[in-house]
Chains A and B, each alone.
Chain A
Amino acid sequence: MSSPTLTKGEAANPAPSSKEPAEAPQEAAPPSALARFLGNPKTLALLVAALVVVVSALVTGDGTWPRSLTADVESPLNDLDNWLVDNRDSHWIFLYFLLHISNFAQAAYDTLLSLLESMSYVGVIVVGTLIAWAAGGADRSRRALRTGGTALAVFVVCGALDVWEPTMETLALMIVSIILSALLGALLGLASGVSDRFEKILRPVFDTMQVMPAFAYLLPLVLMFDIGVPSALIATVIYAAPPMARLTSLGLRQADPTALEAATSLGADSRQRLLTARLPLARKQMMLGLNQTIMMCLSMVVLASLIGAGGLGSEVYEALGALKIGDALVAGVAVVLLAVLLDRTTAAAGERLDDVATTSFSRAAAQLRLAVWGGIAALTAVFAAVGTAVAGDEWPENWVVDFTNSIDTAVNWFTDHLGSGIPLLGGTITWAEGFTEIVLNPLRNGLQTTPWWALALLVAVIGWIVGTWRAALTGVVCLALIGWMRLWDVAMDTLSQVLAGLVLTVVVGVLVGVLCARVERVDKIMRPVLDTMQTMPQFVYLIPVIALVGQNRTGGILAAVVYAAPAVIRITAQGLRHVDPAAMEASNSLGATGMQQLFGVQLPLARKSILVALNQGVVLVLSMVVIAGLIGGGALGYMVVRGLSKGDLSQGFPAGIAIVCLGIMLDRLSQPAAKRSRD
C-alpha cells in the first residue's frame, strides 16, 4: 500500500513511516558529535539537571523524603494480612472461587505426578523419549532422532545423579504450569492482539510483570492460597505467562498484512480471518512464546520450592542450607537438563511448523503420526498399569553415580584459591572490598544525600531526553511512590547497587559480546556456557559467590552480573553479527583494520541492539535484587526476603512494590530508545 506517505524519497527508507515526524531528525547522522551534543537543548537540560543534583547534594547533604509526604502503608497491610488469615476458610471468595482454583491446581499436579510414578522410571523414559521423538517428526530424520536421544539422555542422567524422584515432581509441576501458562498467555495474547483496547490495558500489566521480582508476589499468594503446590503453580503461571501473551499478541499484530487483506478481500468475516489466517500466521511467534514460557517456568523451580512446591527446588534449597554445593549443583544440573529437554522438544516441534511451509503435504505421513501418537497413548496406559510391577518404583541404587563430594572439593579449592590465594593481586575478596569502598559506598552516599527533588528532576530530564514526557512522568511518579511508602533511603541503597551492577553487566556483556561476534571459537565455547548460566537456578551459585567475595553487597552484585550478563552478551553479539554486510564489505574494501571496522562500523551500526541489551540488563539485574538480598545485598531485597520468611505482608509487600517502581523507572529511562530501534 502506498497511501499516506508520498512526497519525499521515503520509499528508500525501509522503516514504516512513523506517525511522529518529529522523530525523524534525530536519526540523522551527526556532522560532529560534540557540536550536536552542545547544540541540543535536551543535552543542555541534562547538564543543568546534573549540576542541580551535585550542588544541592553538596549544600543540603540530606536526601530524606519529607515525612509529611508519606503514608502509613503498614497498618492497612497488617489488617489485610489478618483478614486473609481469619477468612481464608470461610469467606465466599475463597470458598467459591480461590479454593476451586487451588483444588484444580493440586488435582492436576497430583494426577500427573501419580501417573509418572505409576509408570515407573522405565515407563517414563520410554514414553518420554517417544514423545520427544514424535515431536521431532516421528521419523528417521536427524531432528527426530536427536530430539528423542536428548530426552533419553536427560532422563538417564537425572536418574544416575540420584535425583529421579524430585525430577519427576518438578517435571509434573512444570508440565502443568507450562500448559496453564501457555493457555493463559495465548488467551491474553489473543485478546490484546485482536483488540486495541485490551492491548492498551494489558501492555502496562505485562511491562510491570516483566520487572516484578517473583519474590514480591509469592507472599500474597501464600496468604491467599496457603503454601503448597497451588501457590507455587500460580506464582509460576503469573511469572511465565506474559512472554507467551506478548509474543502471541505480537505475532497476531505482525501477521503478513497482505495475507490478511487477501482474506478480507475474499469476503472473510472477522472470525474466519482470525481462525484461518491470523492465528496460523502467528504460530511461529507463538512457538517462540511457548519456548520462552518454558524457560521462565523452569527459572521458577527453586523459588516455587520456597512456598512448598517440593521437587528439585527443594533439593537445591536444602543442600544449600547444609552448604552442600555439590548436591545443590547436581539438583541444579537436573533443572538445566529438564530445561534442555523441554526446550529441544518444543523447538523441534516448532521447526516442524516451519517445515510445513516448505515440504509437501503427505497423507501417509499424517496417518503415521496419528498412529505414533496413538501408540504413545497406549504405551502410557500400559506402563501406568504395570510399570511399577515390572521395574519397581524407584531408580535402582546401583545405577547411581555420586559426584557431589568431588564437586564440593573442586568448588572449595577453586573459591579458596581465587578468594585470597592469588599472589600479588590479592584475590577476589580484596577486590570486592575495593569495589565496595571505591564504587558502592560513594554511589550510595551520593544518592542518599541528593535531595529527592533534585533526583526527581534528573530522572525527569533523562526520561524526557530518551523518550517522551510520558517516560519522564512515569519515572517521577515511581520515585514519588517510593518516597510515599517511606522507603526512600532503602530504595536509594538498592538503586546504587542496581546501577553499579548494571554498569558492570553492560561492560562485561558488551566486551564478551564483541569477542563472541568476532572470534568464532569464543562464540562456540560461550554458547553452552551461556545456556547453562541462564537456566541454572541462581541459588546454586550464591554460596560460591559468598566464598569468593563474602556476604556483602558486592556478592549480590556479582550474582546479578552472572545472571544478567548472558542476555546482554547474546543480544550484543547478535547485533554485531547482523550488521549490514554491505557496510562491512565497504569498510573492508577501504582497507579498514579489524579495530577500525569494529569501532567505525560494527559498534555504531549495532548501537540499537546494544540499547536493547541495556534495557534487558536493567530488567534482569533488577530481578536479582531480591536474590541478592539473600546473600548480603540488604536493602529492599532483604526486606522482601524477610517479609516472605516471616510471612509478613506489611514488610515484604511495600518493598516489593518499591522494587517494581525502581524497575519501571529504569525500564522507562532505557526503553524508549530501545523501542524505537525495534520499529
Chain B
Amino acid sequence: MRIKRVSTIGVAGVGLLGVLALTTGCAADTKASGGGDDKVVLAEPSWVGATANAAVVKKLLEDELDVKVEAKQMDEPVAFDALNSGKADVILEDWHGVPKKQKKYVEEKKTVVSGGDLGVVGHIGWFVPKYYADKHPDILKSYKNLNKHYKDFKTSESGDLGHFIGAAPSYSQHDKELIKNLGLKFKHIPSGAEAAQLKELKRLYDAKKPFLTYWWEPQWMNEKIDLVEVPLPKYTKGCEVPASEAKCGYETNQLEKFMNKDFATGDSKAAEFIKNFHWSTKDQNEVAGMIAGKKMDPEDAAAKWIKDNKSTWEKWIPKD
C-alpha cells in the first residue's frame, strides 16, 4: 500500500537526517562564517596568473604553516563583495578593475584593507602579432598608423572597419571610447570571456592572420605567442575618467593584494604570510606557464617552483 510505503521512506529519511545531524552537527555553524575559523579562503580570479598565486600560497601555507586553505573561484567584482562580507579572506592579485567597489569597501566602509603590492607589474595595451609587425614596422611607431592598415584587419564581424578584439567584460578597459576619440577606423568587438579571447588569438596566430587586440602582461600565453605593442598616448593620472572622453593608454599597474579587515588585523600567521607574499612577474609566469602551457596540475607546478626557489619564499614565512 502506498501510504505505508511512503511512510517507510519517510522513516528512512528521518533516520538518515538524524544520522546526518549527529555526525556533522557542529561542522555547519563554524563553516558558515568563512573568515572566523582557521581556514583561509582565497578569492581566485579566473585567469591563470591568479591560479599560480593561489597555488603557491596554498601550498606554502599548508606545508609550512599548517593552515588550511580554500581557493574559491571568483572574479574581482565578486571577490570584493566576498572580502567585504568575510566569505573570502584575501584576493592576491587585483588589477584595480573595480574602482567603484574598491572605493566603497576600502575607503567608505573600511571592511577591506590593502595587503600591499604583489610585486607583479601589470601592463595593458594594444598588441599585434610580431609576424605582422615585421611586415609593417610603421605600426609600432604610433597608433596613428593603424588607420593606414585597417583594411588588413577587416573581418565579417567588423564590416568595413578593422576588427579590434576587445577584452573580456570584467577587465579594466576603455578601448571602445578610445577608438572613437582617436578617430580610428576600427570596430571594437568585445570578447565574452578571457578563455574565448585566448582561443581566438591562438587560432588567428596559428593561421598567421593579422589581428589587433587588447592584451596584457603577465599572461602565460606570452610564452607561446609573440605579440608586440602598438603605442598609445601616454597615461596620465585620471586621463581615462570619464571613459567617454578617454584619449590615453593604460596605467602600468602595481598589482595589489586586498584582505578582509578582520582577517588582516586578526594577527594570524597566515595573514602575515600573505602580507609578505611578493614575487616578480617572471616568477609568476614561470608557474603560470607550467599550469597553462605544460598543462600541469597547479599543485604540482607550485611544488616545482617552491622546490627551485626556496630563497624567494623563505622571506615570506613569518618569524616567531
- Residues of A in contact with B (beta carbons under 8 Å apart): 85, 88-89, 103, 106-107, 110-112, 114-115, 118, 222, 226-228, 280, 305, 307-308, 310, 314, 317-318, 320-324, 326, 356, 361, 366, 369-370, 373-374, 376-377, 380-381, 384-385, 404-405, 408, 416, 419-420, 432-434, 436-437, 441, 542-543, 546-547, 550-553, 628-634, 637-638, 641-642, 645-648
- Kindly state the interface size class of chain B when it binds its partner: 35 or more
Tell me which residues across on chain A come within 8 A of B72, comparing CB atoms.
308, 310, 314
CB distance from B274 to the nearest CB of A (A): 20
Across the two chains, which residue of chain A brings its CB closest to B163? Answer: A552
Q: A227-B74, A546-B203, A551-B200 are in contact. Are A377 and B192 (CB under 8 A)?
A: no
Across the two chains, which residue of chain A brings its CB closest to B195? Answer: A320
Tell me which residues across on chain A come within 8 A of B81, comparing CB atoms.
85, 222, 226-227, 647
Closest 6 CB pairs of A and B: A373-B12, A647-B77, A630-B192, A642-B169, A645-B170, A436-B156
CB distance from B62 to the nearest CB of A (A): 14
Across the two chains, which residue of chain A brings its CB closest to B22? Answer: A381
A-B contact list, 5 entries, CB within 8 Å: A226-B85, A308-B87, A322-B295, A380-B19, A647-B98
| Chain B contact residues: helix, strand, loop or mixed | helix
Contact with A along B31-73 (1 / 0, CB 8 A): 1100000000000001110010000000000000000000011
CB distance from B129 to the nearest CB of A (A): 16
Binds A, one of B2-10, B113-121, B132-140, B258-266: B2-10
Would A543 and B48 count as touching, CB distance under 8 A? Answer: no
Would A630 and B193 count as touching, CB distance under 8 A? Answer: yes
Q: Does B20 contact A (CB under 8 A)?
A: yes
Q: A366-B4, A373-B9 are in contact. Are A551 and B192 (CB under 8 A)?
A: yes
Given the complex of chains A and B, what is the CA–CA distance between A552 and B154 in angstroms? 13
Tell me which residues across on chain B come within 8 A of A385, comparing CB atoms.
23
Would B198 and A323 count as touching, CB distance under 8 A? Answer: yes
CB distance from A290 to the nearest CB of B (A): 14
Tell me which residues across on chain B come within 8 A of A634, comparing CB atoms.
189-190, 192
Q: A370-B11, A547-B203, A552-B157 are in contact. Are A115 and B98 (CB under 8 A)?
A: no
Tell me which residues across on chain B come within 8 A of A118, comparing CB atoms.
23-24
Tell me which residues across on chain A come within 8 A of B193, comparing CB atoms.
320, 630-631, 641
Given the complex of chains A and B, what is the CA–CA distance between A235 and B46 in angstroms? 21
Contact of B295 among A320, A324, A551, A648 (CB under 8 A): A324
Would B203 and A227 count as touching, CB distance under 8 A? Answer: no
Would A551 and B19 count as touching, CB distance under 8 A? Answer: no
Would B73 and A317 count as touching, CB distance under 8 A? Answer: yes
Would A366 and B78 count as touching, CB distance under 8 A? Answer: no
Would B11 and A645 count as touching, CB distance under 8 A? Answer: no
Across the two chains, which residue of chain A brings its CB closest to B82? Answer: A227
Would A366 and B292 count as touching, CB distance under 8 A? Answer: no
Would B19 and A633 count as touching, CB distance under 8 A? Answer: no
Tell me which residues across on chain A come within 8 A of B200, comparing CB atoms.
546, 550-551, 632
Would A419 and B203 count as touching, CB distance under 8 A? Answer: yes
Tell me which residues across on chain A come within 8 A of B159, comparing CB atoms.
441
Given the complex of chains A and B, what is the CA–CA distance between A139 and B191 in angstroms? 54
Beyond known contacts A324-B292, A647-B80: 6 more, CB 8 A cutoff? A324-B295, A326-B295, A361-B1, A370-B11, A376-B16, A634-B192
Contact of A641 among B15, B46, B192 (CB under 8 A): B192
Would A356 and B27 count as touching, CB distance under 8 A? Answer: no
Would B198 and A115 count as touching, CB distance under 8 A? Answer: no
Would A369 and B8 count as touching, CB distance under 8 A? Answer: yes
Would B11 and A373 count as touching, CB distance under 8 A? Answer: yes
Tell me which residues across on chain A come within 8 A of B155, comparing CB atoms.
433, 552
Tell me which residues across on chain A come within 8 A of B11, comparing CB atoms.
370, 373-374
CB distance from B244 to the nearest CB of A (A): 14
Q: Does B194 contact A (CB under 8 A)?
A: yes
Given the complex of chains A and B, what is the CA–CA distance between A110 and B101 in angstroms? 29
CB distance from B15 to the nearest CB of A (A): 4
Q: A374-B12, A376-B12, A419-B203 are in contact. Are A111 and B195 (CB under 8 A)?
A: no
Would A641 and B169 count as touching, CB distance under 8 A? Answer: yes
CB distance from A578 to the nearest CB of B (A): 31
Across the two chains, which residue of chain B brings its CB closest to A361? Answer: B1
Tell me which residues across on chain B come within 8 A of A553, comparing CB atoms.
157
Given the complex of chains A and B, what is the CA–CA distance between A493 and B9 in angstroms? 52
Across the two chains, which residue of chain A brings its CB closest to B104? Answer: A85
Would A321 and B194 count as touching, CB distance under 8 A? Answer: yes
Would B27 and A111 count as touching, CB distance under 8 A? Answer: yes
Within 8 A of A (CB), among B237-268: none
Q: A321-B48, A380-B19, A436-B157 are in contact. Are A551 and B196 (CB under 8 A)?
A: yes
Would B32 and A373 count as touching, CB distance under 8 A? Answer: no
Q: A106-B32, A408-B295, A645-B169 are in contact. Are A546 and B15 (CB under 8 A)?
A: no
Given the complex of chains A and B, what is the CA–CA distance between A370 and B4 in angstroms? 10
CB distance from A121 to the nearest CB of B (A): 17
CB distance from A310 to the nearest CB of B (A): 7
Contact of A550 among B15, B22, B198, B203 (CB under 8 A): B203
Contact of A638 among B87, B169, B207 (CB under 8 A): B169
Given the complex of chains A and B, what is the CA–CA distance between A642 and B291 in angstroms? 27
